[in-house]
Amino acid sequence: MYCNYCGKVIQDDANLCAYCGKRIGAVIARKRLVRPRAGRKIAGVCAGFAEYFDLDVTLVRLVWLIASLVTGIGLLTYPIAWIVMPEEPLRLAEPAGQPVTNP
C-alpha cells in the first residue's frame, strides 16, 4: 500500500504513514470540531480548527489575524465560534491503586 500524501510504500495494516505521519485513507475516524483543552492561547478556537482541518495552528492563527485586520470578519466570528464550538470532553485518569481488569 502507498501513502496518499508522500507516496512511500507502507504496511497494509498501518493507520499512520511512518514517513510523513499522516492518517491513512480508510481508517480516518469521524472528527469533531471541538475546542481542545491543551494548546490554547485565548479560547482554543484556532487550535480546534487547526486540529479539525489537520493544519498548523500558527497558520490558522495568522489567517484569522489577517482576516480580522483586513475585513473585520475575524473579530465577529471568533466570539461566535467560541460560543458555538463545544469544549473537548475531559479525559479522567484511572484512580491509582486500583487493579486494571481486562474483559
pLDDT tens sequence for the chain (103 residues): 777 777 788 777 777 777 877 777 654 456 788 888 887 888 889 989 988 888 899 999 999 999 999 998 888 999 999 999 888 877 777 666 666 666 5
Listed by start position, the domains of the chain span 1-28, 31-84
Q: pTM score, two decimals? A: 0.60
User: Is residue 10 packed enough to be buried (19+ CB in 10 Å), middle (13-18) or exposed (0-12)?
Assistant: middle
pLDDT at 39: 79
Whether residue 50 contacts residue 56, with contact meaning beta carbons closer than 8 Å, is answered with: yes
pLDDT at 103: 57
pLDDT at 27: 43
pLDDT at 14: 74
pLDDT at 18: 76
